[in-house]
Amino acid sequence: MIDAPRPASHQELPTWLFEGARVLDPGRDPEAVVQAIADFEDPATRRLIRNAVFLRPEGGGKEWIIAPEAARPADER
């Protein structure tokens, strides 16, 4: 794997949180894979989530979004 520099917007995120990382969502308790990390504006509330974490269950399924501070490393089980 080639170590690419992180985008400036991701500098404040923990190093274990990156696209492709396996994480836990304590609010839902499933293990998931990070699909993307990007700013997201909720169309219903117009609330901006900076560096929102887009998750999907391993093997596929419905994607969901959490705030970066809610994610936990999968090995913390």
Q: How many residues does the chain have?
A: 77
Backbone angles phi, psi at 68, to 5 degrees: -60, -30
Check the CA dihedral 8-10-13-14 and report its sign.
Answer: negative
pLDDT at 1 over 60: no
Q: What is the mean pLDDT of residues 63-69?
A: 94
pLDDT tens by residue, 5-58: 555 555 689 999 999 999 999 888 789 999 999 999 999 999 999 999 999 998
Backbone angles phi, psi at 9, to 5 degrees: -70, -15
DSSP sequence for 2-43:
--PPPPGGGTTS-TT-STT-EEE-TTT--EEEEEEEEEEE-T
pLDDT at 70 over 70: yes
